[in-house]
Amino acid sequence: MSKLPLFPVTVVGSWPRPRWLLEALRLKREGKISQEEFDSIADEAVLLAVKYQEDAGVEILSDGEQRRDNFYSFVADKIRGIELKTVAEIVDLVPDKSRFETVLRSLDVPAFSIRNPVVTSRLEVGARGIARDEASFLKNHTRALIKIPLPGPYLLTRSSWVPGISDKHYRSREELGYEYAKILRDEIIALRDLGVFFVQLDEPVLSEVVYGPDQSQQTFMCAALFSRRNPREELEFAVELINETVKGVSGIKVGIHVCRGNWSRREDALLKGDYVPLMPYLAETKVEQLVLEFATPRAGDVEALRDYIGDKELGFGVVNPRTDEVEKPSEIVARVEKILRFMDPGKIYLNPDCGFGTFAEAPVNTPKTAFNKLRSMRIAAEELRRIYGER
């Protein structure tokens, strides 16, 4: 890890998928092409995503999540016992149907188009692992350090526990949560052994937990299925699961990514609210890095971190993945300097606020703009290194 310079440039994960990959994803979903046929198409898309990141100067890169339909439902392909079910298939089991309707209206989508992973039997990870296949391919095709985003244990538990279906196989949501923690821990260790540098656990629903029911129309679909419980209890449960996941893991960097959702270009369609209510809990997580968004005003001020960041690293969101305008390197430098008032330069990584294509069918940017934003981040990193020296 000593080879990393200060302010390493990295990504949060997803990259806009080419049209031909989307077609292949659809054909695979409909069972019209095999996994092998899909993989050979997706391999090409990954190479493109890698090339863009390398050319932009990204130092810890991902495979652009090209093989995934989105950041969490892909697990249905990887873990036996999870099935993708449309909201239309499970809505009758949802206690708060009217809240659900509000969400569908705000997203302007039908219930049949939203697929959610649902636990339908005991879980068992398949031969490809959750992301081991992704990591192996990536390892063969880049010399850069590798980041693998994985859906976090709380996100998976919250989104896939459907009473009436899942409770036939797990006694409680808590039991399922611990099962996910174990599965993810094994996966992280396997990824470490494959040479992965950084595993990022995505837990975007944590912001949904704190930014309440009155904002339910702006929520994440997966978390909207069931009524919110007490936010404090939910956050404590999330911390417990995250810590259980990383228990005893060493030799690999593990971070958690928490954002407010970046799936739409419409600012008003997304959650807003600062990290203040979350920080006491994030501080309790035993991960090395917090990957947070700060490029838009809706994420609040970096001061929220001052009393809680401790000796954790920060994956600092410095560009908005959802705009056409490319942030100038000088703006990025200024943002970083603000946080250097209370953080050690050696603890800061630069990343966009989120992925550029959280949902395969709805990328929030073009590859060209995404590339330019990453390029701008790298130029800013060089400038910061000039000011603050090498590590």
- Interface residues with another protein (CB under 8 A)? 88, 104-105, 109-113
Which amino acid would we find at residue 342? F
Most distant pair of Cα atoms in the chain: their distance: 59
Give the nearer residue to another protein in terms of CB position, either 69 or 179. 69
Q: How far is the CB of 17 from another protein (least distance, A)?
A: 20
Q: How far is the CB of 240 from another protein (least distance, A)?
A: 36
Q: How far is the CB of 32 from another protein (least distance, A)?
A: 13
Give the nearer residue to another protein in terms of CB position, either 89 or 288. 89
Q: How far is the CB of 112 from another protein (least distance, A)?
A: 4
Give the nearer residue to another protein in terms of CB position, either 95 or 195. 95
Q: How far is the CB of 110 from another protein (least distance, A)?
A: 3
Which amino acid would we find at residue 224? A
Angle at 320 between CA 314 and CA 322, to 5 degrees: 140
Distance between CA atoms of residues 176 and 123, nearest Å? 9
In angstroms, the Cα distances linking 62 to 52, 282, 371 are: 11, 24, 14
Q: Which ranges of the chain does DSSP label H, i.e. alpha helix?
A: 19-29, 35-56, 75-78, 87-90, 97-107, 132-141, 153-160, 173-193, 205-210, 231-246, 279-282, 329-339, 367-388
Give the nearer residue to another protein in terms of CB position, either 20 or 112. 112
Give the nearer residue to another protein in terms of CB position, either 107 or 191. 107
Secondary structure letter of residue 84 according to DSSP? E
Q: How far is the CB of 101 from another protein (least distance, A)?
A: 8
Give the nearer residue to another protein in terms of CB position, either 32 or 306. 32
Give the nearer residue to another protein in terms of CB position, either 247 or 266. 266
Could you give the dihedral angle defined by the CA atoms of residues 129, 134, 140 and 146, in that order, rounded to the nearest 10 degrees?
-100
Give the nearer residue to another protein in terms of CB position, either 126 or 213. 213
Nearest to 91 by CA among 80, 81, 102: 102
Q: How far is the CB of 270 from another protein (least distance, A)?
A: 21
Distance between CA atoms of residues 162 and 328, nearest Å? 45
172 CB neighbour count, 10 Å cutoff: 11
- Does residue 50 contact residue 139 with C-beta atoms inside 8 Å? no
Q: How far is the CB of 23 from another protein (least distance, A)?
A: 16
